[in-house]
A and B are shown apart, each in its own frame.
Chain A
């Protein structure tokens, strides 16, 4: 039973570029949440997707957008990258929009130069 998988694991971009991160949820899960974790801080909620729609959104600008596909996998897109976007991006899956026992992927480490 595959857990949550994320890709890529590491990537380097320059300011102004765009990036797409991908997440496949744990088998049987239909809800995906994305978090940004800066170095030395706790994860910050970006948004949550369920039934291919954004259900909840944290305090992040419109440069951060997402998508959920019919197979429940999800993408996180960040446009016009800033140095401050450098972080570990974590994807978490759960069943429906239940919170709490979230299952996390290993994350995608984004470095913006």
Chain B
């Protein structure tokens, strides 16, 4: 089965600081997705990356896909308390199942 390992597992940053979350796949990535989850709630789709070297941005969040390394990174610039939550990467698999990573819990201190 496809495995997605995220690092760090948790992150505590001061408001205004930049941060990066990484997602590493044990297998070739067909598509890499980033979701955000508020504690105990459903997931919100952030971005989808499909091509090696692809980079997408939305507001202060930028995601990159390094297909050769089977990795993706999510970078938040000038973090705000509203960025707090659990960030999950997800990926398609050849069997058409969708797998999630282990998750990264982000706390932003005002």
Give the interface size bracket for A toward B: 20 to 34
Task: Determine whether B43 belongs to the interface, using a CB cutoff of 8 Å to chain A.
Answer: yes
User: Which residues in B have their C-beta under 8 angstroms from that of A8?
Assistant: none
Knowing A42-B88, A100-B33, A100-B92, say if A56 contacts B43 (CB, 8 Å): no
Within the complex, what minimum Cβ distance (angstroms) separates A105 from chain B? 5
Cβ–Cβ contact A90 & B43, under 8 A: yes
Task: Determine whether B85 belongs to the interface, using a CB cutoff of 8 Å to chain A.
Answer: no
Within the complex, what minimum Cβ distance (angstroms) separates A41 from chain B? 7
Give the interface size bracket for B toward A: 20 to 34
Cβ–Cβ contact B96 & A56, under 8 A: yes
Cβ–Cβ contact B45 & A106, under 8 A: no
Within the complex, what minimum Cβ distance (angstroms) separates A102 from chain B? 7
Knowing A42-B100, A42-B103, say if A109 contacts B40 (CB, 8 Å): yes
Residue of A nearest to B38 (CB): A106
Cα A101 to Cα B45 with chains together (Å): 7
User: Which residues in B have their C-beta under 8 angstroms from that of A42?
Assistant: 4, 6, 88, 100-103
Given contacts A45-B97, A90-B43, A109-B40, could you give 7 more A-B pairs where the C-beta distance is less than 8 Å? Answer: A41-B103, A44-B100, A45-B99, A99-B97, A100-B92, A101-B45, A102-B98
**A-B pairs with lowest CB-CB distance, top 9:** A104-B42, A42-B100, A99-B98, A104-B43, A42-B103, A106-B42, A43-B100, A99-B92, A56-B97
